[in-house]
Structure 1
Amino acid sequence: MATRAANKRLTREYATIQANPPPYIVAHPSENNILEWHYILTGPPNTPYVNGQYWGTLLFPPTYPFAPPSIRMHTPSGRFQPSTRLCLSISDFHPKSFNPAWEVSTILIGLMSFMTSDEMTTGSLGASDAERKWLAARSRWWNSTGGGSVKTPVKGNTATVKGVGAVKAGDGGVKFRAEWPELDEENWKWMTEHRIDAATGKILATPEGEIGNTSAACSPEVAALKRGPGGTTGLGDAGRAARDAGQSWVRRNKLLVVGMVVVGYVLMARLVGEGGAASS
């Protein structure tokens, strides 16, 4: 339970961040617990996270602002381990380095800065830019479906504080929906518009005879989903087979052909050598 000082401070900070939110950042306390804050970082331009929707939590101690919060990011990003406490100078890993003058906005700006850097710490991950762009494209789907564990929003479900530090794939997007109902509704509309399969996060094929949404098909998010996590176009076995079918047998078996030529040459050389020895 928050102390009177913590409650007063966090109430003031909520008013401040509502009136003047930092770029690409929104945040609010949970309705039932002012010590539990939820934030959304939108991936900034010129980064692998552009347009990604990154949801996470700040859990403040009752003694805030004289002690820092724990920081987690639930949405897979390729930068942080999902739902894992992050070791930062602004987090509860380093209480002695925390400055009581720092506010929620200061903490989240610091988190954004660290996310877009290459510095490593406890809870961070290494990944390629292509993988991070792919995860950014899937972020809205992941938040609203809990990683594909539900196909449609489950109305009437209410989330609890229990487990907020371990929100991972499988919760059906319940906690996200409880804290961000407007964003959740927007996400489902986006998935419908872009023909995203709620169960897998992949793009559904356009039905035969139906003209697809050209503007949606050209969006950066859809392009990243088509490329796949490794930055490739995601050809499966069928795709590779179709590709190989257009190539000659010789081109597809270069090593075998070379080996056959070498063996044939050696055999011919031996035969010629044995014929010369017999004639002499």
Structure 2
Amino acid sequence: MLRDFLPGVFNVVTGNGPEVGKALVAHKGVDKITFTGSTSVGVEVAQAAARNITGVLLELGGKSAQIVFPDADIDAAVNGVISGVFAASGQTCMAGSRLLLHRQIHDVFVEKLVARTREIRLGDPRAPDTQLGPIANRTQFERILGFFETAKLEGATIAAGGRASPLGGLFIEPTVITNTAPGMRVVEEEIFGPVVAVMSFDSEAEALALANASEFGLAGAIWTNDIGRGHRVAGRLKAGTVWINSYRTLAPGVPFGGYKRSGLGRENGRVGLEEYTETKSIWVEIAGKDRDPFIIG
């Protein structure tokens, strides 16, 4: 309970981020800054903190890849992909928004994924039977719709969704985009909405190359019944968290954070606590007056 803390241990400062946030980040009395949000704002936070040599912990954006190999349990993988990208309407940094399918199972997987996507129930987030809620605000809503138009212009195919929901408001239909390729905006940029971009691959090496060809490195998943392959690929994925045959499993004792432009440092677990400490070395001389002053060590 907060009342158990001494006065001043926990403080809440309210106000608009551009004003209050900038003031706090730039203040010389702040010893550590932790920020969760977009990569662009994270860069501004780090730059402001650097002026005072203030430590930062940044949990930023992602464009996480889910890799499905031909020996995977297809139905389980479809469930995992849906959970990985559509939970919270895709408005999570760890969303598995890039789907890499082995060419051998590509068509079957997409067929199942599209069918399941079209069955997702949109509605009031407070209703027990709702599976997908609205987008957080109008600006983000319009931004997501803009990705759909760009994807079509770049040659991609909207296999499911790709439009505002007939429900009105800020609802967007869960969307599956196929025929995508590296360089397309839906593949490169964090959309932060219920959108998954699908690509195909022919080999493990190609899958890794596609997955790692991103400026982000927050999370990723591998779907396979070959546990050796699962560990091998997980070790080579440039991501802070990797799941094998699951997605979005988290625990407070397990560190979470990203590589590359997905952030700095780790939250949770002992590593997360150590982010808020500093190492100190203390030497004690016991030789006294007998110590030779010209010998170091």
Q: Under TM normalisation by the shorter chain, which class is it? A: under 0.3
Q: Find the structure with the greater CA-based Rg.
A: 1
Bigger proportion of residues as strand: 2
Higher relative contact order by CA 8 Å / sep ≥ 6: 1 or 2?
A: 2
Provide the TM-score with structure 1 as the length reference: 0.25
Provide the TM-score with structure 2 as the length reference: 0.24
